[in-house]
Structures are given as C-alpha cells and as structure tokens.
Structure 1
Amino acid sequence: MKGTAAAGATTISFWQTKFEDYQQKWFADQIAKYNSSQNKVFVKYTVVPGDVFETKLKAAQQAGTQPDVATTNYGSISDGVAQGKFAELDGKIPAEAFADIKDNVKDFVKVGDKNYAYPMLVEPSTVLYYRADLAKAAGLDPEKPPTTWDELIDWSAKLTKGKVKGMTIASTKADLSWSSWGLQYNACGRLPISDDWSKAEATSECYTKLLQLYQTLFQKKYMPQTPKVGYPDAAPYVNGEVAMMANGSWAVGQLKDAKKPELLKNTRVAAFPSVDGDPKKPTATLGGWTLTVDSKSKNQDGAADFINWLLASDPQRMAEFFKLSGYSKFTVRTSVDKALASTPEATNDPFMKIINDQVVQFGKQEPGYPLDISNAFADAIESSMKGKADIKASLEAANAKIERTIQQQRLAGKGNG
C-alpha cells in the first residue's frame, strides 16, 4: 500500500481475499482515501489469493502475526466466534450502522445478540435467467416467466429444441451441496436437519417434490447431461447451449462481460420459481463477505473505525462499488438502497431491481453446519436425478448419513435455529 503512516498514527493490517480486478482497485483506492483523510489510523493493505487465504491466515494466527482486519464469509462467523477468533464490534462501530443493515441480513453477522462482523454485500445463489426471444418463438410469453416448478418444467420442455436444451441447473454433488439450499427452504421452509442440529429430517415428504424437479429436468433431457463447467459458470447460456439458466447473481457480471449485446438484450431475469407459486418463499441463500476484527488485535478500535468508514458510513461509497460490479452484487444497507434508487444507471439496469426486490428480499442465510450435511443431501438429489436410486431411497440414505454426522461430530445442541 502506497503512503506512510503519520507520526503517532496506529497502523492496522488488512488482509483481503483476492476477487475480481475491479474490486481490488476499489479497495486500494478507498484505503488510500481513508489513509489520507485522517492521521490517527493507517491501513496496511495485503491482497491474498483465495486458494491460500485460509492456510496463510491460520499460519499467521498460530504465529501471532494475524491481520487486524480480514475478509470473512458469512458461514464462518458462528464457528469463528465459538473458537474465539473475532472481536465483538458493538460499541466499536456505532449502533446506527448496525440498524442500517437490512432485516433479513442482520443475523448473518450476529451470534446471540452481539455483532462480530460488518457485512459488505450479498450474492443470491439462485436466479432464473431466460432468453425472451426463444421463449416467444416457443409460444411462451416472455413477460410472464414460470412461477411454479411445474411451469418451469413446461417451459423447459417447450424450449428444448435441437441442440439447445431448455434449462441448465446444478447436477453434481459439489454444486448441489450449496446451490440447492434456497430450494430446500422453498420446498420445506427449512433445511434437512432440526434447528438444534440434533436430528436428521431429510425424509420429510416435502423434499420429494424438490428431488422430482431435478429428476424430471435431467431424465427428460431438458438440461445438459454432461456439463462441461460447474454451476457458477454462465458459459452454457452465454454460448447459446441452453435457453434458461439457474445461476447466482454473479452471472449478471459474466453476461455483461461477454460482449454479446444481442444476448444481453434478449436476456430476462426472474426469481427462481417456487414450489407452489408463492413469490415470498425463499428460493436463494445469500452468500457474501464481511470484514471482521481479530480478537487478538491490539488495535481493535482503529480496525473498527476503518471498517465503519469503508462499509458503514457514506452510502455513496458502497453505491459506487455496486456500480463497478455491474450490479451483479447487492447491498446489505437500506441507506445504500436509497442511494441507488436515486441513481438513473442503477434504476435503469434491467436486472438489478428485479433481483433485489424479488430474490434478495426473501433470501435466507447460508447454513452454518458442516459441509458433510450438505453433501449428504446433495448425494440424494444427484442419485435420484441420475437414476441411481429412487427418491424415497435417496432421501433415506441422506437421512442416515446426516444422523451419522450428527453423532460423529457431536452436533446435537450446536444449532442456532
């Protein structure tokens, strides 16, 4: 980081996971502004590649050289607090800053009634993208996208023509383990384990409909049978291999970066259909990033001041970030929503308002339980969709795996509802 600390200033270290190039530039520019705006705190900025971030951070923590501030995903907060990694931020960041966080995001950074992080953004895991021109050619009304799973199957059937499949959605365990969380909530109003993590609940009848959705799309060959890329990659849609796509909000950035104006012009977005058409039921979980202060930091107040300035103060600062993202990521603060509402570029974006109002508003927090639980349910989806076992047997197998995980990892009572 360019610049030097003023005499008597407190130096804090900030490790940030490497993201897209525009993000790195935004962070660097903002930190330079912060450092020059006052002479009490100086931020030393380090970008760490994502594939080694956790390894380097753990080594630094063991050596006592951990950063004062670090990027942290939502799913790591609860476990991190249990391990004593994060400092409480109440009293260090103004209460009004936490009050500004949207209601369905507030609990993402809390453990109990205490705040241990400040959120930066959310990215809904599941959005429906579709080709309006292909829908119209198939006799479908592109202004009335499917709202139920049955309607989605009907659209997928009618849009499957020649080499073009009607739909693409996750089909491998690695992708299904996390991309189906929102649809699990949609099907049953919860995840396949009790709130306190003491009992598996994967055999609940409501999950049958979810597995039937995946099974029908795959076995009717309305979706690619051997996808070349994973769920987060929009390439099949960009390349014209599919007419509809389930993907996260980040796919908006991929579509804009593709430099295919006709594709962009003909693309529409909608909330992913609900099991029964209820638009207020969640269809996506909200992943994203926060900034945390290390519990062993000797400069917690300075670290918190920087976080407050960067993420929780001037709404225009974060509004500019979302503009740079191509509106593919979404705000967590009501004041930033208001700032964007007065920005013509944001209000005229064909995707932002729909995703924000119809998806983000009803999104749920990602579960904090071990990945083994998610993998067990993903196995059930993949097994049934590809005909390795019927739906009932697949769910029973998932239930047994979850029960074993609860016992082996002593999870009972550790859930937070």
Structure 2
Amino acid sequence: MMRSTTRAGRIAITALGIAAVGAMLAGCGAGTPGESADGGGGSGDVTTIQFWHRTFTPAENEWYADIVKKFNAAQKDIKVVDTEVPADAWDQKMKAAQAAGKAPDVYTHAGSIQDAVNAGQLHELNGIVSDDALKQILPAAESISKVGDTYYAYPLLQEAQAVLFWNTDMLDAAGVDSSAGPATWSDLFDACAKIQPTLQSGQYCISPAGDAATFAWSTVGQQYNFNGHLALKDDWTAPDIDTDGYRQLMANYKELWDKGYMPKQALDSYVGGKDFGEKKVAFKVSGSWMMSEIGSDYKEMLTKTGVGAFPSADDAEGDTTSTLGNFKWVVDAKSKNAEAAGKFLEWSIAGDPANVVPFFVNTQFTKVPVRQSVQDAVAADAAAADAPWSTVVTNEIAPDAIPEPTYPWDVSLAVGTAMESVMKGASTPDAAIKTAEDAIKKVIQQQDLPSKAPKN
C-alpha cells in the first residue's frame, strides 16, 4: 500500500507562492554577528589564517564569503583569508597542499574523518574549541565529529543522501496516488507500471543512481534497509555482502533497468535536479539538497513536487533507506595558528545561531542543523512555514537515517561495482558478490582493517 500522508510527509506544496520562494532565496542574509571572536580587545600583531572551502551552490558560496567578512569585522586580532576551490579540483589541490606541508589552517571536509585522523592530518578540537560548543553537537552527528572521545571536526550540516521526489501531475495523470510516495519497492514497481504507458518519448518513471561510484555512497542506507547491516562485519574482519538482502537489492535495480523504468543513459547526475525540473522523470532519487535547485531553477515545479523517504524493502531488516551526508570544518594538524583557527571555527558555526541561520534559510531548508539551538532558530524563521519539505527531511527522514560508513571508500566501491554489473546484466548476483568479496578481502588485508575497526 502507499505510504500515508503523515508517514510520507506529503508536500504537494500547493500553498507555496513564487513570491515567497523569491524571499527565501534572497532573504535572511544579514544575521546579527555574535560577540568578538577573542572576547574583545587585543592590540598585538594580527594573526592570519587560511580558510578553504569547496564551491557549492550560489547561496552557500555567498554565505561562506559573508561569514568570513563578518568574523574579520567582529574583531581585530585574527584575519581570515577565504579561498573558494572548485569542487572538481578540490582533491588534487588539497593533496598537493598537504604533501607540501601548506594545507590551509581551516577547511571543509566531507565524509568520514577516520582516514584523515589515522593519517595525522587533523588537529584535535578539544582545547581550541570550547567544551560548551563541542557538547552542543547532537548525538546523531557525533560519529562524524570525533574518534573515541576526541573531537576532530565540527559539522555545519547533515543531509539525507537518498530522498524520493515525485511530480504530482505525472502521478495524477497515471492514476497513481500523489498524496504520498511509494512505501515499498513493490509499491514503486506498481506505480511505474501505471506511469510508463502515460509517458512521452524521452520520459521515464524514475531516475535513481545508475553507476558504480554513485551506488557506492548513495545506497548505503538501502543496503542497511535490506540487510540490517552493511558490507563489512562490525569488527572489520570480513565482508558481509553474501546475503539474500544484497541479492534482492541488486535484483530490484535490475528490474528498473530491464523494464525501462529508468533511463539507460543518465539524464542528469544523481546530485542534480535538471531531469526532474524538466519533467523527464516522474520520480527522482537524490539528496535533500535537490530541493534547493528546484526552488532556484524550476520554481514552477515547487507546487508540483512531493518529497518523502525512499521506498523500503518489502521485508525490511533496517528502519532507514538513507544515510546522512555531511560537511564539517576541520583544523589542519600542522597549522601554526591552531588557537586562532579554533576561534574562527567556533565563532562562525559553533557560536551564535544567528550566524548560521541564513545558511539554512537561503538553501531552502534542505539541510539539517547539528545543534538544537540552530534547529530551533531555523524552524522559527518566518520562511520556514513556506518550506514544508523541511519538516519531512528533518523530522521524518533524518531521525532514522544512519551515518555514512567509516570504513574505506574501496569497500563501498566494491559494493557499487557489484550493483551496477548486476543491474546492467554484465554479471550474475553470485558472480558479482564473489568479485566484491575478493575486493573487500584485499582491502581488509592491505589496510589491516581489524586494527582500525570502531571499538564501540
């Protein structure tokens, strides 16, 4: 059966006017700065620190530039130099800087911090960020912030990485209930069977992940949903992918592929929303951030978009179908100005909630704050009433979502490769699983994973 209105967080968004959207996109950029970063005063030499962040969406980039300006204006002892690095050049530029011992003092970090901590790349935040600020990080974000009892990162946000969006007009035209998303994979197949005959050339029922690398990170929640565990034993001593759950998950994607419910050539990237915005798909699977693109580039779709959790396995073993991605701020282990870096980090994202509220408002409430005070302040913003998807993401998807895995990327990629090969008919499930097992065993041995496994 289809998920109920309450369960799915039905948001046909019929009350959302274009004027309100414009206000959300352009407004709430001021935010009263907090107190001086150094507590006031200070007449010594100015300490200059370097801050690097990736190129994000325009609204995010504007916030990053603005928060640096506000910090520099709020005190006179520390000067932050802001550098925006193109996302496709980030890895190469950061690795080169780290190799040369010239990494920025503070920078943004995505994914697990475990490898960076093992490599000695991150400075402890304990001691350079106040205990009060560290304690404000909600439990759901602690696993991405610390190793053991030591904090190495301060999260700015978390994002649901697998969310289902649907075009209510296209579902209505096919006689499919658009007041809620499909609760299970069986419901999804039933909906696609009804939708497919109503589509024009170049349109499809759904645009999900479709390649090994994207499967590797975007389906982690689904893997847990089908199995109650991920691809590695909890003690990291052996793979745990040879299960009926993994076989069924692969078979489901193969059915989407074989029946033509999904395009054979991607119409847009998983992280993008162009295919959905141009009405080429009835369902789109992406992260919660996609709503930001719809609001900025396809405003007419806001009143025709439903948002809910990705469908669950018919006999689910785990409660979630999504992980929570994240972007955190970290301090480089070799920074010569770690205390100044800690003051900048704390003032900007761990201090006055007013400093970060504009970030969440201007990205259209598609991201989840990691501090309760910030969640409350964002929810109280006047524009929140015009963004009902915020409640869906924050209250219905994020609470059950699991953190991204902390094991090496190569483990996830082995799973993603298996999923793509089965989906496209290049391999049987048994053969794909055997290949993945061999690849994971190699990673376990080469990187001595049992010695690095989480102790709790």
TM-score by length of 1: 0.92
| Partner of residue 68 from structure 1, selected from 81, 84, 105 | 105
- State the identity %: 36
Which deviations, in whole Å up to 9, do the C-alpha atoms of 1:175-211 show, x marking residues without a partner? 2121111111111122111123210111022222211
Is 1:227 paired with 2:271? no
Match of 1:192 in 2: 231
The unaligned stretches of length 5 or more in structure 1 are: none
Q: Is the 8 A contact 1:156 1:222 kept in 2?
A: yes
Distance 1:240 1:290 in 2: 34
* SS of residue matched to 2:230: coil
Match of 2:17 in 1: none
* SS of residue matched to 2:222: helix
Q: Which amino acid aligns with 1:311?
A: I
Distance 2:294 2:252 in 1: 26
| Partner of residue 22 from structure 1, selected from 59, 62, 86 | 59
Match of 1:218 in 2: 257
Q: Equivalent residues in 2 for 1:10-409 (5 A)?
A: 10-75=47-112, 77-161=113-197, 162-163=199-200, 164-261=203-300, 263-276=301-314, 281-409=319-447
Which deviations, in whole Å up to 9, do the C-alpha atoms of 1:222-262 show, x marking residues without a partner? 1112224322222222222211111111211221122341x
In structure 2, relative to structure 1, the CA distance for the partners of 1:113 and 1:135 (3 Å cut) is same
Which deviations, in whole Å up to 9, do the C-alpha atoms of 1:285-320 show, x marking residues without a partner? 222211111122222111111101100111122111
Q: Which amino acid aligns with 1:391?
A: P
Q: Which amino acid aligns with 2:141?
A: V
Please state how far the C-alpha of 1:277 moved relative to its aligned partner.
7.7
Distance 1:299 1:321 in 2: 27
Q: Which amino acid aligns with 1:104?
A: A
Match of 2:38 in 1: none
Which deviations, in whole Å up to 9, do the C-alpha atoms of 1:61-103 show, x marking residues without a partner? 343333211111132x111111111111113222222222222
Distance 1:106 1:132 in 2: 37
Please state how far the C-alpha of 1:6 moved relative to its aligned partner.
6.7
The unaligned stretches of length 5 or more in structure 2 are: 1-41
Please state how far the C-alpha of 1:280 moved relative to its aligned partner.
7.8
Distance 1:260 1:33 in 2: 31
Number of aligned pairs? Answer: 411
Which deviations, in whole Å up to 9, do the C-alpha atoms of 1:137-186 show, x marking residues without a partner? 32222223211121122112222133332211112112212111111111
Q: Is the 8 A contact 1:184 1:210 kept in 2?
A: yes
In structure 2, relative to structure 1, the CA distance for the partners of 1:60 and 1:380 (3 Å cut) is closer
In structure 2, relative to structure 1, the CA distance for the partners of 1:49 and 1:397 (3 Å cut) is same
Which deviations, in whole Å up to 9, do the C-alpha atoms of 1:101-123 show, x marking residues without a partner? 22211111111111001001122
Distance 2:177 2:57 in 1: 36
Q: Is the 8 A contact 1:169 1:247 kept in 2?
A: yes
In structure 2, relative to structure 1, the CA distance for the partners of 1:247 and 1:277 (3 Å cut) is farther
In structure 2, relative to structure 1, the CA distance for the partners of 1:291 and 1:260 (3 Å cut) is closer
Distance 2:284 2:340 in 1: 44
Q: Is the 8 A contact 2:277 2:298 kept in 1?
A: no
Distance 1:244 1:172 in 2: 18
TM-score by length of 2: 0.85
